[in-house]
Structure 1
Amino acid sequence: MGLNHSNITILKEIAELLNEETEMIPMLKGALLKFLSGTKFDTGWIFFIDSKGKSKLVAHENLPEALAKNGCQHLSRGGCWCVSRYRNNELMKASNIIECQRIESAMIDSDDDTGGITHHATVPLQSGQERFGILNVASQNTVRFTEEELELLESVAFQMGSAIKRIHLTNEQQEIALVQERNRLARDLHDSVNQLLFSVTLTSRAGIEMSDQPEIKETFKEIQELTQEALTEMRALIWQLRPKGLESGLMEAIKVYAEMLGLKLIVNVSGVIQLPSRIEETLFRIAQEGLNNIRRHAGVKIAELYVTVTQTDILLVIKDEGRGFVIDPKVRIPSVGIQSIKDRAHAIGGTADWVSEIGKGTELLIRLPY
């Protein structure tokens, strides 16, 4: 059974859209909308499913009110046959779903219209051996879909899987290029500015030894202290560009960084730390910024770090008993450091909060999903 002319046309249009888009979610939403507008299917939604089997609703179009209400809660929560089959490696091609727990729960719990949606078809999104998730589509008052409709669904899923793979590869290449650029900049800073500051430190030290006049000695001493401070800042910047020690473990890298800043760090860990590289680097960058803030503003040389790992979250707490501060609610960005931490946490779906009081220290609380 082959695809008819209208189906070939819609596949061509979808292929063109997928090739033009560079952002993942807009690409999926656009392709899904074009597919629905050119076929008899009425609604659709896409789950990404990670290696642990955790599913996430990433795109949907034309959902009836019962499925769309409260942030698509019925689609986002609970179990269902299609996701279970996918996790068990039993979903290999486009299939009819006899009963969907998510749709059934929406029908039971909601007085809103389900738009005649009672059943759906499902297909895995994959490229070669790599699997990314599933595409589900449904039509009003339709219990079962034809072989031709399932064949069309498989063709679209194949296109989407290839496009998802392309964007993953592009993002990986961009990340590699970014790391290479960071390394180059770190080398340049180390070889030029870092060495220059070190030379100024040695020169000022020599000036202190050579001069007999107290005023000149004091001037050279001030130059030495300022240069040493700048040298510490530069080393911290180089570390931020090219973190050494992550290969020895996240906690070891954070400890070494604190030591370099002249801070004594007391570390408490609960749970096994085996994290994806992106989560690990985000935690490291946030810890760096938190420790930088303590060194610059807290007026203390000791800090505590707590890491708790659960099945779904990582909680990072950094505490000091320093000066503390009060955030003015009228000011959107209290400081560049605080905003940087917030941005890093939010970028991967996490949260960042502070508890601080003048004279009673500061507690930074970070929660990241994984």
Structure 2
Amino acid sequence: MTNDPRVQELITLKTIAEKLNQSNDLTTMLDTVLEKLLDVTGLTTGWIFLSDGTSDYEFAADRRLPPALLHQDKQPMRCGTCWCLDRFWDGRLKNAVNILNCKRLDDAEANRLGDTCGITHHATVPLRAGSRNFGVLNVAAPGKEHFAGEELALLQAVAFQIGGAVERMRLHALEQRRAELFTKLGEFSRALSVVVSGGVAPGQLVDRAVELIGEHFDWPAAGMIEFLGDDIVLRTVHVGGRTDTPFIQLPMTDIDMCNRAAPKICFQEIKSKPAEWLLNRPELRTVLPPLRSATAAVVTLGSGAAAGLLFVGHSNKTHKLKRIDEEVLEAIAEHVAVALESARLEENRRELARMEERNRLARDLHDSVSQMLFSLSMTAKGVESLLSSEQLDSARSAVKDMQSLSKSALKEMRALIMQLRPAGLEAGLVQALQQYGRKLELDLAVHKSGIRELPHAVEEALWRIGQEALNNVSKHAGTAKAEVSLILGGSEIILRVADKGRGIRNRGTSNGLGSIGLSTMRERCEALGGTFTLASAIGHGTTVEAAIPLPSVTERGEEP
């Protein structure tokens, strides 16, 4: 083999390049390349610190350290700072430096930690690719206090190769992390949609959202900060696989720029330095571990108001959160904001439905029971005058009218009470509708297929829809005969109420199947993701059908 230094340099660079291309694991690559570098250069010791240019670093690789630096699992290399890192951080380390007296070796020798094997100095080379800095490479040998220019040039070339490989591997890891996080984001979004469809309150939704973050992502800590009057509140945290609601209140005055009129500004202040803020709050140390890195995202509602601040954090300094973590958390915050808006809209919708129900009952009371009671009152006055004039036959006839009116009023009142309270559902939906039909004096033919336990919300919605449909048969169909069919499939349930009556001449009227009755049944059905249809023909009757999807669960032998 030739002894030409230039040929040796090319061989060294070729060998290093081959090793760099053989692994996609950063730790393995650094260990292998460091070993090969020492072999081809004849040096005995080397180590690598990785750092993003801040005052923190990772002791990433080492080969053949002297016993003094191996003390207590290499503690001298993992703690404190040194001259080479100080120069790297303050921007003075631009190229390979010849020679730095090693502070870590000096300290180890002063503290009598072990043999330094005659090593006192080392060459220091910055690891970088383009304008990005990744750390420093140090190499040394016993008694060596000087590196020639050719040696430094070779070390500089190797450092450039290592820096390029570090950047390539980090970009590869970043893309893998991005793909992984966005896959989990999709799973989180689907799980959150299921929670929203269950109709939970906004507060419970926040707690469940934080729990889902902990279940779907690998961040060790997650939580939600909310505003509550004059305080900010740590509402929910997920740490160590457990979700808690500590509800710790912190005064807003403790944070610069806090403004009750602009809470988003306050949250942005927390968001700018979430790790420092969370660590500096003594009240939070009982529920959160010491966080080395954290990121946060404001949950902004459609109105522009800040509902809260989601945060996630890591306690391990070797797993610092990256920009991609922040991007995904911001996407999570948007999903949570949409879910909160949906929950609030659902609350409003339910309140409007309750108001509409009260209005409908008031209207029915006025149209039926109230008018009957008024007629009963007027008839009673007539009976009084007839008795005073001794017109007994006419009085007896009026009393019979009063009995008929009171019976009809009682029937109407019982029907309205049944609509207010879904009694009888414990016996099953079909039997409840049969019983309700008998109260309305209807002749029902009932058909059912499939056996399965129904979710409470689905059962009550179908009960209300069936009530409304049977009421309309009783009042408007002109027939006492009707058919009720309940069909249970694997993925949906269908309720069908049909009659052979007069049919609907004008669906826009207020005859019960008009704008109010029809819209009420349709809203109940569509609120659960179902479809509502109505078919009617003059002289051929009316059919009402509600189809509601069901969750995939194990069928049970209970009558619905």
With the shorter chain as reference, the TM-score category is: 0.5 to 0.7
SS in 2 for 1:38: helix
Residue 17 of structure 1: how far off its partner (Å) = 2.1
CA distance in structure 2 between the aligned counterparts of 1:250 and 1:235, rounded to whole angstroms? 9
TM-score with structure 2 length normalisation? 0.40
Residue 163 of structure 1: how far off its partner (Å) = 1.2
Pick closer, same or farther for the CA change 1:237–1:113 going to 2, 3 Å. Answer: closer
* AA of the residue aligned to 1:46: I
Pick closer, same or farther for the CA change 1:252–1:153 going to 2, 3 Å. Answer: farther
SS in 2 for 1:4: helix
Contact 1:117 1:139 in 2 (8 A): yes
- Say if 2:148 is the partner of 1:146: yes
Contact 2:71 2:113 in 1 (8 A): no
Contact 2:224 2:234 in 1 (8 A): no
- Measured against aligned partners, the alpha-carbon deviations of 1:13-51 in whole angstroms (never above 9, x if no partner) come to 222222232222222111111111121211001112343
* AA of the residue aligned to 2:155: L
SS in 2 for 1:16: helix
CA distance in structure 2 between the aligned counterparts of 1:168 and 1:119, rounded to whole angstroms? 31
1:179 to 175, 178, 181: 181
Identity across the alignment (%)? 30
Pick closer, same or farther for the CA change 1:231–1:154 going to 2, 3 Å. Answer: closer
2:161 to 159, 163, 173: 159
CA distance in structure 2 between the aligned counterparts of 1:78 and 1:347, rounded to whole angstroms? 15
Pick closer, same or farther for the CA change 1:267–1:30 going to 2, 3 Å. Answer: farther
CA distance in structure 2 between the aligned counterparts of 1:271 and 1:72, rounded to whole angstroms? 41
Moved more, 3-12 or 150-159: 3-12
* AA of the residue aligned to 2:62: H
Pick closer, same or farther for the CA change 1:121–1:236 going to 2, 3 Å. Answer: closer
SS in 2 for 1:58: strand
Pick closer, same or farther for the CA change 1:75–1:348 going to 2, 3 Å. Answer: closer
Contact 2:119 2:144 in 1 (8 A): yes
Residue 138 of structure 1: how far off its partner (Å) = 0.2
SS in 2 for 1:53: coil
Pick closer, same or farther for the CA change 1:63–1:182 going to 2, 3 Å. Answer: same
Gaps of 5+ in 2: 218-222, 238-242, 257-268, 289-312, 321-560
**What's the counterpart of residue 290 of structure 1?**
none
* AA of the residue aligned to 2:8: S
Residue 147 of structure 1: how far off its partner (Å) = 1.0
- Measured against aligned partners, the alpha-carbon deviations of 1:187-222 in whole angstroms (never above 9, x if no partner) come to 33345x446645xx9xxxxxxxxxxxxxxxxxxxxx
Residue 85 of structure 1: how far off its partner (Å) = 1.5
Gaps of 5+ in 1: 202-229, 244-248, 284-305, 320-342, 351-370
**What's the counterpart of residue 103 of structure 1?**
105
CA distance in structure 1 between the aligned counterparts of 2:76 and 2:151, rounded to whole angstroms? 26
Contact 1:308 1:314 in 2 (8 A): no
**What's the counterpart of residue 236 of structure 2?**
258
Contact 2:235 2:246 in 1 (8 A): no
1:317 to 268, 283, 286: 286
CA distance in structure 2 between the aligned counterparts of 1:93 and 1:3, rounded to whole angstroms? 21
| Max Rg structure | 2
**What's the counterpart of residue 131 of structure 2?**
129
Higher relative CO (Cα under 8 Å, sequence separation at least 6) belongs to 1
**What's the counterpart of residue 58 of structure 1?**
60
CA distance in structure 1 between the aligned counterparts of 2:283 and 2:40, rounded to whole angstroms? 44
Contact 1:94 1:121 in 2 (8 A): yes
Structure 1 stretches (4+) deviating beyond 6 angstroms? 230-234, 269-277
* AA of the residue aligned to 2:7: H
For residues 223-234 of structure 1, the aligned pairs below 5 Å read: none
- Measured against aligned partners, the alpha-carbon deviations of 1:267-302 in whole angstroms (never above 9, x if no partner) come to 44989986899x86xx9xxxxxxxxxxxxxxxxxxx
CA distance in structure 2 between the aligned counterparts of 1:41 and 1:268, rounded to whole angstroms? 57
**What's the counterpart of residue 338 of structure 1?**
none
What is the aligned-residue RMSD (CA, Å)?
4.4
CA distance in structure 2 between the aligned counterparts of 1:241 and 1:258, rounded to whole angstroms? 14
- Say if 2:310 is the partner of 1:308: no
* AA of the residue aligned to 1:308: L
Residue 162 of structure 1: how far off its partner (Å) = 0.8
Contact 2:129 2:160 in 1 (8 A): yes
CA distance in structure 1 between the aligned counterparts of 2:36 and 2:270, rounded to whole angstroms? 40
Pick closer, same or farther for the CA change 1:140–1:155 going to 2, 3 Å. Answer: same
Contact 2:207 2:236 in 1 (8 A): no
CA distance in structure 1 between the aligned counterparts of 2:130 and 2:283, rounded to whole angstroms? 32
- Say if 2:60 is the partner of 1:89: no
Residue 81 of structure 1: how far off its partner (Å) = 2.4
Contact 1:307 1:315 in 2 (8 A): yes
